[in-house]
Structure 1
Amino acid sequence: MALVGKGNNMVKLLIIADDFTGALDTGVQFAAGGAETRVVTNTDYDFDSVDENVQVLVLDAETRHLSRDEAYRVVFHITKKAFESGIPFIYKKTDSALRGNIGSELKAVLDAASRTSLHFLPAFPKMNRITRNGIHYIDGVPVHESVFGKDPFEPVADSYIPEILKGDVPVTVVRNMKDWKRAPGIMVYDASTDQELMEFGKFLMKKGELTVMAGCAGFAGVLPSLLGLEGEMPRQVALGEKFLVACGSVNPITVRQLDYAQRQGFTRIRMAPHQKFDTGYYRTPEGEKTLKDWKELCSRSNRAIIDTNDLPGRSDTFDYACRQGITMEELRVRISSTLGYVVRELIGEEPDSTLLITGGDCLTGFMAHIGRDEIAPVCEMAPGTVLSEIDIGNRTFAVITKSGGFGGETLMVDLAEKITGCKEDKRLEKKEENKYVNTVYA
């Protein structure tokens, strides 16, 4: 028998994401249409205490890098609590490149909600991510053959979704509505256009099948109209005239975006290995001077990048980590935390900054250092690129976020033009237009 909630909550939809940028690029699908939307990071969040105006609550469960069993427990706990609080619809947000513990997390939603079937629509056509015959494609190639098959932390080993999910729960591939028949377990839907997603959504809504569902920002984009989650258009957000990009992603797509931005005049600061692993470094005389120099560089430029990637063809960070006995998991966590600390220090000196953070782990590290667990998505500035607001102290900052794999090569420059209203950083002297800061590695 399915759980029956109390029904005393204004929240109509709970979205459970496995990382922060994914939580935002899905939540913004509702915020952009006027639905009051909040993104939170507390997995023990009290659903009964949420602001009465909030219609869509997005919870970043941070399960992407957990073990399968741990991810199951976290998602099960959240789902069960949500239904008991009276939230009628649950959306398990999955990575659009199929990274993470997808099978165990979908099973957790099924088990916690006491349902027999869960509908999974993984396509994101706007980002060239489609599903055909149960195989997931990115930019026309099977996902395991794309850059996501080479992800250093979460490589995708297969493109056939039933194979990815096998062992967790029975899987059925649905190619069209004509042959639809409810099946136990996970029902995976083919789709290559937004129209197909909408048609499946309407079909499932009529059958009362949308209580528990899963997908990425693609299917989430059709839900506002289906679930009646729309309202007044979002307010205008004041953007600071300076643009600071913080990169914690190693995705080649983001790296190309940064390289292009640098060629177009962005000041680029690359952190050396010993500067990435410990915030304590910035309390040493050398670290204090380094941070002071970076602040000065950022103050002189309207467009700056703080980057954790090594120079092309180099593996200095990995080599340094090996010498220090730092595991890959520690490397990921420590770099994200340290970059979050550095970003906090840099924007503290620049109250008129607009911040862009790429990579969910980096965003999590930043939020931890500013002591915040809630952020409000407003709109998309480009597909998969989300503008949000966050309160820091007595100020409200505009923060742009994106996953590492989203966007074309010119994205950073295009965003800078929207923010600063010009094509070049006029504050840079000619000799510094392609300023490249590379700290000598110790």
Structure 2
Amino acid sequence: MARLLMIADDFTGALDTGVQFAARGARTCVVTEPEYDFSRAGGEIQVLVLDAETRHLPPEAAYGVVRRAVEGALSAGFTHIYKKTDSALRGNVGAELSAVLDGARAESIPFLPALPKMDRVTRGGVHYIGGVPVAESVFGQDPFEPVRASSVPEIIGAQTDRPVVLHGLGERAAERCPGIHVYDAETDRDLMETGLRLGGEGLRLSAGCAGFAAALAELLDLRGAPPVLPDLVPALLVACGSVNPVTLRQMAVAEEHGFPHIRLKPPQKLEPAWLESADCAAAVEKWLETAEREKRFILDVNDPDGCDDTDRYAGERGLTTEDLRRGISAQLGRLVRQLLDGGLDATILCTGGDTLLALMRAVKVAELIPVCELDTGAVLTDFVYRGKTHHIISKSGGFGEPDLFYRLALSLGAGDQEEDAVC
């Protein structure tokens, strides 16, 4: 039986890829410890997803984390390794693909970065999002991790000397040809057909995003009983830690449909001491009342359009962009925990991997079991905090249609799921 380790570089990526296997009934677990001891993984686990948290690390550090994970998993009896990369090619792509090869003592690995169902395709070795080369898309303007190139070989080559071999649609890998083999794909069928051509041995090491992971679940025949959709609280709290324009548009559409929308001020999202203040206690009480009354609520770290309060606040205190990224996500995670402590009764939607990880750390949860996708890239899971099970939806900042939050709220508000309903 195949046992697969999937290594993701952030939390939402770990979940939106792991759920491709969980949705087929494969026993799947997501862990958030970069130095995880793989001997702890029980034999019942078919797919272990490691959130290695390497997205923002220097390339050398990311390489070390991934290589150690590969070596540890293979020593513990895992038969297959999948390096999950960001579907917009952010992060340490070249360093981490090299780490997989070195950790497995292998010469080649297939890399299929396309995610066709989100209109992210690879054509002629160039990665496109919404028909635009990725470096010219919104991901080229990301304030934390902008993508500077659209050529996949160029992105990989910036961090490794390994040869990069391009394959157009329908091309088979050259036998025993060393290097990182990049495959074009524009449809899910393209991904599946490439996987079939690679064959069993060619899939022991592979890489890509959630797109090829879905094909891999089929190719490796990892399956079981389909997951059952739990009863979800008919209320939605959106905890937004993403600055991606896709998420900003989703919040705007939700606000147009009546979602109360709270934008945190700089001290509220950057000063840990504020969490202990009377002002915070009063704000949390007010937000809980609003969430209970309206059943739809957004807690947002973004400044209003045209406002630079956070940048000015950071500049006055000498805070770096990295300080902002870490500090804001940690603060938002603790704020959501305070809402839970205050009795929040809602399904939580977290946007952005940093936000989700901060919340899990705040409630001291290190393992999650993904259930299913409620929408493309919107993954349902749950966790237990203080004896109560809470349901959470995770979403990468760049995923989803503009009306996603509104549609999710409508589906939760219906509340008519049958007991035997499945995802």
TM interval, shorter chain, is over 0.9
| Secondary structure, aligned partner of 2:349 | strand
Native 8 Å contact 1:122 1:131 kept in 2: yes
Give the counterpart of 1:64 among 55, 74, 88.
55
Alignment partner, residue 199 of structure 2: 205
What is the deviation of 1:11?
A: 7.1
Instruction: Give the deviation of 1:353 after TM superposition.
Output: 1.1
- Give, in whole Å, the separation in 2 of the partners of 1:301 and 1:283: 26
- In structure 2, the partner of 1:342 is 335
Name 2:152's counterpart in structure 1.
161
In structure 2, distance between residues paired with 1:407 and 1:152:
20
Corresponding residue for residue 179 of structure 2: 185
State the number of aligned residues: 412
CA separation in 1, counterparts of 2:44 and 2:273?
A: 41
**Greater alpha carbon shift after TM alignment, 280-289 vs 301-310:** 280-289
Return the offset for 1:395: 1.4
Which stretch of the first structure deviates more once superposed, 101-110 or 317-326?
Answer: 317-326
Match of 2:71 in 1: 80
Structure 1 counterpart of 2:233, one-letter code? G
Equivalent residue of 1:180, what SS? Answer: coil
Matched residue of 2:392: which SS? Answer: strand
Q: Per-residue deviation at 1:151?
A: 0.2
CA distance, structure 1, for counterparts of residue 184 and residue 190 of structure 2: 8
> 1:18 maps to which residue?
9
Q: Once the 2 structures are TM-superposed, how far is the Cα of residue 389 of structure 1 from its aligned partner?
A: 1.5
Alignment deviations for residues 384-442 of structure 1 (CA, whole Å, 9 cap, x no partner): 110112122211111100000000110000000110118xxxxxxxxxxxxxxxxxxxx
Q: Residue by residue, what CA displacement relative to the aligned partner does 1:221-247 show, whole Å, maximum 9, x if unpaired?
A: 111121110111002212012210000
Q: Give the secondary-structure state (helix, strand or coil) at the position aligned to 2:207.
A: strand
1:288-299 paired onto structure 2 within 5 Å? 288-299=281-292
Q: Provide the rounded CA distance (Å) in 2 between the counterparts of 1:52 and 1:351.
A: 36
The residue that corresponds to 1:324 in the other structure is 317
What do the CA deviations read for 1:144-184 (whole angstroms, capped 9, x no partner)?
00000000000000000111111502101111344531421
Deviations 1:236-288 (A, max 9, x none): 21201221000000000100100110110111111001111133212122222
Q: Under a length normalisation based on structure 2, what TM-score does the superposition of the two structures give?
A: 0.95
Q: Secondary structure at the match of 1:65?
A: coil
Alignment match of 1:361 (pick from 354, 357, 363): 354
Mapped pair 1:409 → 2:405: no
Alignment of 1:237-256 (within 5 A): 237-256=230-249
CA contact (8 A) 1:279 1:341 kept: no
Q: Counterpart of 2:146 in structure 1: which amino acid? A: P
RMSD over aligned CA atoms reads 1.3
* Residue aligning to 2:130: 139
Q: 1:178 to 1:68 in 2, by over 3 A?
A: closer
Flag structure 2 segments of 5+ consecutive residues without an equivalent. Answer: 416-423
Aligned match of 2:420: none
For the structure 1 residues 248 and 116, does the alpha-carbon distance in structure 2 shift closer, same or farther, using more than 3 Å as the test?
same
Hey, what does 2:166 align to over in structure 1?
A: 173
Task: Tell me if the contact between 1:41 and 1:374 (Cα under 8 Å) persists in the aligned partners.
Answer: yes
Cα separation, 2, equivalents of 1:253 and 1:364: 20
Contact persistence 2:173–2:198 (CA under 8 A): no
Pairwise mapping of residues 352-391 of structure 1 onto structure 2 (< 5 A)?
352-391=345-384
Preserved CA contact (<8 Å) 1:121 1:191: yes
Contact residue 382 and residue 391 of structure 2 kept, 8 A: yes
Instruction: Measure the CA separation in 1 of the matches of 2:102 and 2:306.
Output: 46
| Letter of the 1:125 counterpart | P
Q: Distance in 2 between matches of 1:178 and 1:162?
A: 17
Give the SS at the match of 2:297.
strand
**CA separation of 1:178/1:186 partners in 2, compared to 1, >3 Å: closer, same or farther?**
closer
1:399 aligns to what?
392
Report what 1:111 is aligned to.
102
Q: In structure 2, the residue corresponding to 1:311 is in which secondary structure?
A: coil
2-side partners of 1:384 and 1:285: how far apart?
38
How far apart in 1 are the matches of 2:393 and 2:147? 27
Task: Write out aligned runs for 1:226-265 (5 A).
Answer: 226-265=219-258
Q: 1:215: Cα distance to partner?
A: 0.2
CA distance in 1, matches of 2:343, 2:252: 24
1:49 aligns with 2:40: yes
Give the CA deviation at 1:345.
1.2
Residue 211 of structure 2 is aligned to residue 224 of structure 1: no
Q: Which residue of 301, 317, 331 corresponds with 1:308?
A: 301
Partner letter of residue 189 of structure 1?
Y
Q: Secondary structure at the match of 2:261?
A: strand
